[in-house]
């Protein structure tokens, strides 16, 4: 399990506040919510075979499988913070994000459809 830096009650509160906001990406708690949802992904799908990047706010490793130790991992997923928030909370599907080129995914394990959306409290 990944080490948590954001307390779950604070993280879920930030997610709820941002979800209720009309302009989610400008909400003061947006960065906290995005980082918390990355931590939640690492907790729900532990492992080191896929690196999920949400620049400039964070990145995490998840999904069981072969571990990489140097350089660019063979399985990477990258997206904007707004897309990550939408995927993690279920307002955007993985298939739709791929179809609309909102996600860059490479590698045989870089499919997050089995773990998204995260359970939002």
pLDDT in tens, 21-47: 988 888 999 999 999 999 999 999 998
Q: Using CA atoms, how far apart are residues 76 and 118, in angstroms rounded to an integer?
A: 19
pTM: 0.91
Burial of 98 (0-12, 13-18, 19+ CB in 10 A): middle
Nearest CA among 64, 106, 86 for reference residue 19: 86
For 71-115, write each residue's pLDDT tens digit.
777 899 999 999 999 999 999 999 999 999 999 999 999 999 999
Angle, helix 30-44 to helix 81-89, in steps of 10 degrees: 50
């Amino acid at each position: 399990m990944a080490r948590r830096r954001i307390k779950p009650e604070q993280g879920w509160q930030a997610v709820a506040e941002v979800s209720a906001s009309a302009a989610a990406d400008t909400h003061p708690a947006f960065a906290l919510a995005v980082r918390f949802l990355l931590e939640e992904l690492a907790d729900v799908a532990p492992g080191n075979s896929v690196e999920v990047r949400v620049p400039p706010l964070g990145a995490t490793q998840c999904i069981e499988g072969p571990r990489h130790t140097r350089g660019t991992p063979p399985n990477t997923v990258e997206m904007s913070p707004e897309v990550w928030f939408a995927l993690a909370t279920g307002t955007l599907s993985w298939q739709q994000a791929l179809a609309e080129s909102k996600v860059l995914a490479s590698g045989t394990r870089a499919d997050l459809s089995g773990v998204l959306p995260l359970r939002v409290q």
